[in-house]
Structure 1
Amino acid sequence: MWIAWTSLSSREDAEGIARQTVEQGLAACVQLDGPIRSTYRWQGQLEQTEEWRLCFKLLPEQAAALEALVHRLHPYEVPEWLCVEAAQVSEKYLSWARSSG
């Protein structure tokens, strides 16, 4: 199982992406956190913004399609997209994730 993250400036956009990815079977679960505070440089300027973070739980075979959908729907010019393999996943959770798509 893999875990991926992105963040968005509006709760509505975040909820929309979460809903579509689960409806399309690209993520078993998406959790929405926020608001969070992000500090970063953009075009040479220091920025601080309030954002909403999405955490996707997915199977490896869904990764490319999920990334493509998130990038297509995401309003940012350069959206955050981080994806890592989970070191350990309970068998019951993994079984549920496999059956949810």
Structure 2
Amino acid sequence: MPGAGGNCMMTPVVRTVYIYSPVTFGQYQANQYSSPIASTVSGSDGAYSITVPAGSYSVIVDDGGVKYCNLFSAGFACPVTVGQTSVPYDITIDVSAQ
């Protein structure tokens, strides 16, 4: 289990990152998504950048053919609101999550 004294190590990965219209928790669990608005592949350093118009979105990662999200808020999967400036959004893929 992560925490003080744990042996977890952060390792950047190359993954496809998708931007969707807001995805509800129910849609995420049922694997029901609309077509992505945008997508990109992260670099070997794990960094990615996508340009989208101002609005609300869900950021979902393809991790070996499985759509992955590690944050649920207000009933939505990996929600982010983009304004007129850049918005950082980090995604942690926890391969030992149960």
Same fold (TM over 0.5): no
Q: TM-score, normalised by structure 2?
A: 0.27
Question: Which structure features the higher share of helix residues?
Answer: 1
Q: TM-score, normalised by structure 1?
A: 0.26
Question: Which structure features the higher share of strand residues?
Answer: 1
